[in-house]
Amino acid sequence: MGAGHSHDHSALDADVGVSRMARTITSIALAVVAVVTLAGLVWLWPTERASLPEGSTLTAEGIDVVAGRVVALEACEGVDPDAGVQHACAMADVELSEGPDAGATVPVELVGVSARSGIATGDRLQVAAIPGGEGAVVYSLVTVDRMPVIFVFGALFVAVVLAVAGWKGLRGLLGLVISGWLLFAFIIPALAAGEAAVPVALVGSTAIMFVVLYVAHGVSMRTSSAFVGTLLSLIATTALGAVGVWAARLSGISTDETLMLANLLGELDFPDILTCSLVIAGLGVLNDVTITQASAVWELRAAGPHLTRRELFASGMRIGRDHIASTIYTIVFAYAGAALSLLLVLSLYDQPLHLLLSTEQFAEEIIRTLGSGIGLVLSVPLTTGVAALTVEGAAGGPLSRIAARRAV
């Protein structure tokens, strides 16, 4: 979920002293947050899966999906091969490897996008066996079987992470797995069940941050400082997102997928779901920034024990400003890449720029990007301030003199 830096700070954590008051306050605050998060998970956890309306075309009752392999492929007769995507057509002979007709070769029509997707002989497909009249069965394309490619890329990703980051990378992968489970086992089902989206976003995101930070970076006051900064930034991002969605009068229904969802589960609060998406979208980069800022303050304290907390904060902010400068465009281009097709379509309209920017599709992405960006920027001073207050004061300062007297 995040791209946290993989430095080993165990020795550094032991060398840098921590204010006793900061340790006590942070420990109590984390305990309270952990209890509230756990209570929120229990309270909001969906007890049953949201169901589609009776008679929905998305239900698959009586339809079996089986695997097969393309053994022959040719263009449909009478169809211009240079026709647009809407008129594209091809016929595939598919040898079934599952189901009651396993071993048989059946015709499967590829139309529209599927005919232009590059399907070739030898590709594996998932096809649906649809009962027809008089006991006949018609086979229709469901999807290309892309799992082998996904598996190869997944294995390559894991191998590269382990080779470069070692044990730290393994802990990061474990955090990713647990966080993904929270996303698909709690956040998405809870939203589909109609639970309030903003509490779901805050509870789910806080639980994910607990997992990502402490599993990937270990249990320490440095990690706790990053967590506190992350939590404060999440709260700020959620508030800003809610205000932005309300002020811009965004419905949250701007794509074919959200329109379909509105038709299937119309009772959902789509503006709140849009706010939830804004919070979740910024989690990864936020984690990266906060753990880096906390680590920077720890490094600065180890290198400069004479620095006052004000000087420590100022030095940390100089590092943070560089981090913001290199990170802020990352989140912007991430959204631009995800919405590239939309940007291409909107660029074709011969309309003034201010009208295009005000459209629901464009404004939604802008609010999402700027809301996450503001939370990202705020995370730097918040985390730096928390970390500067957490470490011990300057050498020779009041805290150090008290510690020296107690040691004697």
Q: Residue 82's pLDDT is what?
A: 66
Q: Residue 281's pLDDT is what?
A: 79
**How many other CB atoms are there within 10 angstroms of residue 364's CB atom?**
25
Token pair belonging to 370: 């700027």
Q: Residue 56's pLDDT is what?
A: 53
Q: Please state the φ and ψ torsions of residue 2, each to the nearest 5 degrees.
A: -140, 170
Q: Please state the φ and ψ torsions of residue 94, each to the nearest 5 degrees.
A: -115, 125
Q: For the whole model, what pTM was predicted?
A: 0.75
User: Which residue positions in the chain have pLDDT lower than 50?
Assistant: 1-8, 10-11, 14, 397-408
CA distance 338 to 335: 5
Helix runs in 137-196, H state only: 147-182, 188-192
Q: Residue 83's pLDDT is what?
A: 66
In tens, the pLDDT along 14-44 reads 456 777 888 888 889 999 999 999 999 999 9
| Residues in Cβ contact with 89 at an 8 Å cutoff, skipping those fewer than 6 apart | 75, 76, 79, 109, 110, 111, 115
In tens, the pLDDT along 264-300 reads 776 788 888 888 888 887 787 788 888 889 988 888 8
Strand ranges in 330-386 using DSSP code E only, listed in sequence order: none
